[in-house]
Amino acid sequence: MRKLPFNRPHTTGRELEYIAQAVEGGHLSGNGPFTERCCRWLEARTGTKRAFLTHSCTAALEMAALLTDVGPGDEVIMPSFTFVSTANAFVLRRATPIFVDIVPDTLTLDPEGVEAALTRKTKVIVPVHYAGVGADMDALVQIASERGLFVVEDAAQALMSEYRGRALGAFGSLAATSFHETKNVISGEGGALFVNDPSLVERAEVIQEKGTNRQRFFRGQVDKYTWVDLGSSYSPSEINAAFLWAQLERAAEITARRLELWRRYHVGLEELEQREQLRRPIIPPESTNNAHMYYILLRSIEERSRLIARLDRAGAMAVFHYVPLHSSDAGKRWGRVVGDLEVTEDVSDRLLRLPLWPDLLDEDIDRIVAVIADGLR
């Protein structure tokens, strides 16, 4: 019986060819020809003003924290149900993450919770598009615009997803996405910053170039380049960009196959949901789904633990996440909670992610569904 890991990185077949081209071209540091291709593709796909490749989504979020000028005394509202990078990027600038609850259908940031958390110190709202499904961007953008706040979308899981016909990552002043090997489109480690506010483009370029005006120098706009602002080394190498380009070329096909597998899970588990033995993901009509993950919500943490063990014995690896940030040691030290976060704590105990990667076979999905059905009898 073949083993089914939770994730297996998918390759399109041209990654090594493009890496060889990068080596032969003699430009291996950041912002070379493959980086340019990737950035233009992302701009065309999302409609963002400028895309900047980064060595991780974490780096893109750190750039966003610099661009929003957060610092001591500033507050950044975000869900507790997210990966640590969402908070870390702003804590590094000594801002305070304010953790609020998520809505029970899409598991994304609750606009009512955001409203309750607003203070005169609030500077940024960070919606997280969990599982590639959009947060309520209509409500969140309205809240931000009425109060002059930044919106920074954590779109780590959301490439190729849309909300009301627009790409996720195109709504906030800034957005960050990921190309980590667990994502739909990958470069091993990698990410991108989307800059939707034209007034932030030039500074983003400087921050990515270690705080220098190096790109202006290359364009002949200054006669020498020098240190002009805060920044760091955020660019990936051309080797990473070459790998990524092979993936972006096939992004539509990768997404289509993931959606086939996602739908097979969804149909296969429908009867169990009708029996109220689990809950399947909910995709609202205003959102599209990029099939980043398939998760189920079980009835208890004990049931989840038993099912994980049962799947493991059958050769399939299922995982859970997240430990809510507000309950972590670092979250208690640097963050603050507004509200009771009931949904966050409940979901964290019951959510289980199932294997989903493009090279799974239809019969693999059927086998996993059968194990789940047998385990919930």
Looking at the structure, tell me whether residues 189 and 231 fall in a common domain. yes
Q: What is the pLDDT of residue 219?
A: 76
In-domain check, residue 228: yes
In-domain check, residue 136: yes
Burial class (CB in 10 A: 0-12, 13-18, 19+), 324: buried
Looking at the structure, tell me whether residues 149 and 263 fall in a common domain. no
Looking at the structure, tell me whether residues 274 and 209 fall in a common domain. no
In-domain check, residue 8: no
Strands, E assignment, the chain: 50-54, 75-79, 96-100, 122-125, 150-154, 162-163, 166-167, 174-178, 191-195, 294-297, 336-337, 351-354
In-domain check, residue 4: no
190, 219, 248 - which closes a domain: 248
Looking at the structure, tell me whether residues 204 and 291 fall in a common domain. no
- Structure tokens that stand for 360 in this block: 């799974």
- Structure tokens that stand for 226 in this block: 């020098």
Query: Taking residues 163-188, what's their average pLDDT?
Result: 98
CA distance 203 to 206: 5
- Answer whether residue 152 shows pLDDT above 70: yes
Looking at the structure, tell me whether residues 359 and 304 fall in a common domain. yes
CA distance 286 to 139: 13
- Of 174-188, 221-235, 336-350, which gets the smallest average pLDDT? 221-235
Looking at the structure, tell me whether residues 190 and 147 fall in a common domain. yes
Q: What percent of the chain has pLDDT over 70?
A: 100
Q: What percent of the chain has pLDDT over 90?
A: 95
User: What residue numbers bound the domain in which 21 lies?
Assistant: 15-248
Looking at the structure, tell me whether residues 124 and 241 fall in a common domain. yes
pLDDT digits (tens, 9 = 90+) for 86-131: 999 999 999 999 999 999 999 999 999 999 999 999 999 999 999 9
Q: What is the pLDDT of residue 1?
A: 64
Q: Are strands 75-79 and 50-54 parallel, antiparallel or unpaired?
A: unpaired
Q: What is the pLDDT of residue 169?
A: 98
Residue 217: pLDDT band (50, 70, 90) is confident
Looking at the structure, tell me whether residues 204 and 292 fall in a common domain. no
In-domain check, residue 126: yes
- Answer whether residue 220 shows pLDDT above 90: no
The CATH number that applies at residue 192 is 3.40.640.10
In-domain check, residue 114: yes
214, 232, 248 - which closes a domain: 248
pLDDT digits (tens, 9 = 90+) for 10-39: 999 999 999 999 999 999 999 999 999 999
